[in-house]
Amino acid sequence: MRNIDEDTITQAVLATLAGCKDDRLRTVMTSLVQHLHSFAREVHLTEAEWTQAIGFLTEVGHITDDKRQEFILLSDVLGLSTLVTAQNNAKPAGCTEATVFGPFFVENAPEYRNGDDIANGAVGLPCFVSGSVRGLGGEPIAHARMDVWQADEEGFYDVQLPSTDGQAEHRARGHLRTAEDGGYHFKSILAEPYPIPHDGPVGRMLDALGRHPWRPAHLHFMIQAPGYETLITHVFREGSDYLDSDAVFGVRSTLVADWVHHASGPAPDGTCPEGGFYALQYDFVLNPLAGG
């Protein structure tokens, strides 16, 4: 391994992988090295650019913590998250499509019952969400776990907001179970467009590229049930800005639905909110597990 130059370096690195006992790791690293070296050759990467890239990735790591995942944001805005999601979630026609997970999911969100208010004080106009969860054959899926989370009308998720004791108060976030007939319903707030966090290195990259950081209005869902593939998806608000320029490339036409405005009259919970309320109805179809 002496006298390595730009023509022999790639093969020299690949030769060191011969002893890797993990076949998948060796396959992935072989391709990574080949493509990474080809990229550097194609653009004739300068030492200054290499140093700048290392500094950028270092910043991404430094700003990442348990409340902010800048690496996921980077993956999202480069389209890698959508690519990986799409190639790993091919489903039969009729199943609800998957889309990107996003960086703001929280484990162990509060448990609610059908009909409860998951907003828990989050800022926004009242919105009542209902629908069903069924299998591809039309069968209702009882007791499916539905995790739901969203930003408030000011564009912030609960984990982004300051707290007095260091722990964010869960708002516009929770999980519930479908009823015996596969139905679900809960109260939340109206989804609004919001920018992804853009005060860090990913935001500066977007600015340098002439791109905006905005996402269209949406609700996040993760639905799990025995015998079915887990579904991670969004439901997007019809008519929202940025449906055709989502900063993270997550929109699918089948996931766009109407949030119907009711200017007056009683809401599904019997109240009469000042300024009216919105209602969203959306049915999910899960894909059975192979051999299930």
95 and 208 in a single domain? The answer is yes
Task: Tell me: pLDDT of 71 over 90.
Answer: yes
Give me the pLDDT at residue 9, please.
97
SS3 readout for the chain: CCCCCCCCHHHHHHHHHHHCCCHHHHHHHHHHHHHHHHHHHHHCCCHHHHHHHHHHHHHHHHHCCCCCCHHHHHHHHCCHHHHHHHHHCCCCCCCCCCCCCCCCCCCCCCECCCCCECCCCCCCCEEEEEEEEEECCCCECCCCEEEEECCCCCCCCHHHCCCCCCCCCCCCEEEEECCCCCEEEEEEECCCCEECCCCCHHHHHHHHCCCCCEECCEEEEEEECCCECCEEEEEEECCCCCCCCCCCCCCCHHHEECEEEECCCCCCCCCCCCCCEEEEECCEEECECCCC
Measure Cα distances from 21 to 1, 10, 13 in Å: 22, 20, 16
In contact, 277 and 189? CB cutoff 8 Å:
no
pLDDT classification of 56: cutoffs 50, 70, 90:
very high
What is the percent of the chain with per-residue pLDDT over 70, rounded to a whole number?
Answer: 97
Residue 35 lies in a domain: yes
7 and 141 in a single domain? The answer is no
Task: Tell me: pLDDT of 161 over 90.
Answer: no
93 and 172 in a single domain? The answer is yes
229 and 110 in a single domain? The answer is yes
Domain that holds residue 208: 70-286
CA dihedral 107, 113, 117, 121 (to 10 degrees): -40
137 and 102 in a single domain? The answer is yes
252 and 118 in a single domain? The answer is yes
Residue 291 lies in a domain: no
Average pLDDT, the chain: 94
Total domains in the fold of the chain: 2
15 and 102 in a single domain? The answer is no
28 and 155 in a single domain? The answer is no
Residue 162 lies in a domain: yes
Residue 8 lies in a domain: yes
pLDDT by residue (tens digit) across 185-209?
999 999 999 999 999 999 999 999 9
In contact, 118 and 174? CB cutoff 8 Å:
yes
Residue 89 lies in a domain: yes
13 and 103 in a single domain? The answer is no
Of 127, 205, 129, 192, the C-alpha closest to 157 is 192
Token pair in block for residue 97:
């499509």
Q: At what angle do helices 70-77 and 201-208 cross, to 10 degrees?
A: 20
pLDDT by residue (tens digit) across 92-148?
999 999 999 988 898 889 999 999 999 999 999 999 999 999 999 999 999 999 999
Residue 65 lies in a domain: no
In angstroms, rounded to a whole number, what is the distance separating the alpha carbons of residues 75 and 71?
6
85 and 10 in a single domain? The answer is no
Residue 63 lies in a domain: no
75 and 40 in a single domain? The answer is no
Give me the pLDDT at residue 66, please.
80
Looking only at the bridges linking them, the beta strands covering 145-149 and 284-286 are unpaired
CATH number at residue 141: 2.60.130.10
Residue 292 lies in a domain: no
In contact, 33 and 10? CB cutoff 8 Å:
yes
In angstroms, rounded to a whole number, what is the distance separating the alpha carbons of residues 176 and 114?
7
117 and 157 in a single domain? The answer is yes
Measure Cα distances from 282 to 94, 115, 197 in Å: 14, 15, 28
Looking only at the bridges linking them, the beta strands covering 126-135 and 194-195 are unpaired
Looking only at the bridges linking them, the beta strands covering 218-224 and 145-149 are antiparallel
Give me the pLDDT at residue 104, please.
87
